[in-house]
Amino acid sequence: MKNILIMGIGRAGKTTLSKMIKDRYKSYNIIHSDSLKWAMIRAKNEESYY
């Protein structure tokens, strides 16, 4: 499986594009960078800092 990284400034249409890719290619997953960031914060037990 190939990975696709979509980057850009806020309100550039990244979420819209990722949803279009997901609709067309059912085997792809969407993982938002905020989810990864908070997972790392929680793993370090630094949630109260943020």
- Overall number of domains in the chain: 1
Is pLDDT of 32 > 90? no
For the chain, give the mean pLDDT: 89
Virtual torsion, Cα 5, 10, 13, 17, nearest 10 deg: 20
pLDDT tens digit sequence for 10-27 = 899 999 999 999 999 988
pLDDT value at position 3? Answer: 84
Give the whole-angstrom CA distance, residue 12 versus residue 26: 23
Instruction: Give the pLDDT band of residue 1 (cuts 50, 70, 90).
Output: low
Give the whole-angstrom CA distance, residue 36 versus residue 48: 17
Q: Which structural domain, as residue segments, surrounds residue 36?
A: 14-49
Identify whether 41 is part of a domain. yes
Alpha carbon 20 to its chain's center: 14
Whether this model's pTM surpasses 0.85: no
Identify whether 30 is part of a domain. yes
Identify whether 43 is part of a domain. yes
Identify whether 9 is part of a domain. no
Give the whole-angstrom CA distance, residue 20 versus residue 14: 10
Identify whether 18 is part of a domain. yes
